[in-house]
Amino acid sequence: MTNFNLIVLSAVASMALPASASAQTPERGKALFAAECSACHSVVPGQNGIGPSLGSIYGKRAGTVPGFKFSIEMRTSHIVWTDAELNKFLTDPNNALFGTKMPTPGTEMHMGTPSAADRGSLIAYLRSLPRS
Ligand code: HEC
C-alpha cells in the first residue's frame, strides 16, 4: 500500500469516528427523554401529564392522543410525526408550530435545547416504542 492510500484511509477512518462516538441510539434517547421530557411527558400510552403521552405518537397525526387537551394549533396542524417533523418541532417548537403549548427548549423547566445529535437520539427512542 502506498503512503497516499494510507493517508486517505486514515482520513476516512477519522471522519467516521465522531459519528460513531455520538451515535444516535434509542438507549441514549431514553436517557435524554428522562432528563429533558419526562417532567411533562410519559411514554406509557394513556398516561397524560402537562404534555400528552408520547408512547405511540411516531408516525401518527399530531394532536390526536386521546384524553389530552391540545392547543388548537396542534389539533389543526396536520403534522404527521415523522423524523423530519419531530426534528423541526424539537429544534424550536414555537417556530415549527406557532402558538403551541409546548415551551421552546431552554425557556422552562430547565429543559435544554437538544443538539442535532440529541434530537436524533430522542427521535430514535420515540420511533423504537411499541405502536398501539
Ligand atoms: C414544560 C413541559 C414540556 C416539556 C419539558 C416537553 N414538552 Fe413536549 N409538549 C408539551 C405540551 C404542553 C404539549 C402539547 C402542545 C400543544 O397542544 O400545542 C407537548 C407536545 C409534544 C409533542 C406533540 C405530541 C402530539 O401528540 O402531537 C411532541 C412530539 C413532544 N411534545 C415532544 C417532546 C420531547 C421529545 C420533549 C423533550 C425533549 C418534550 N416534548 C418536552 C409540554 C412539554
C-alpha of residue 20 to centroid of ligand 1, in Å: 28
Rounded Cα gap, residues 43 and 2, in angstroms = 54
Q: Check residue 2 and report its DSSP letter.
A: -
pTM over 0.95: no
C-alpha of residue 28 to centroid of ligand 1, in Å: 19
- 87-118 pLDDT, tens digit each: 999 988 888 888 888 876 665 544 567 889 99
Helix (H, G, I), strand (E, B) or coil at 26: helix
Note the pLDDT of residue 22: 64
Q: Is the separation of the CB atoms in 97 and 88 below 8 Å?
A: no
Note the pLDDT of residue 6: 52
Domain residue ranges of the chain, discontinuous segments joined by +? 24-128
Helix (H, G, I), strand (E, B) or coil at 80: strand
The 3-class SS string of 27-76 reads HHHHHHHHHHCCCCCCCCCCCCCCCCCCCCCCCCECCCCCCCCCCHHHHC
Using CB distances shorter than 6 Å, the residues near ligand 1 are: 36-37, 39-41, 50-52, 54, 57, 62-63, 65, 70-71, 73-74, 81, 86, 89-90, 100-103, 108-109, 111, 114, 122
Closest residue CA from atom 18 of ligand 1:
100
Domain 24-128 annotated CATH 1.20.1260.10: no
C-alpha of residue 79 to centroid of ligand 1, in Å: 14
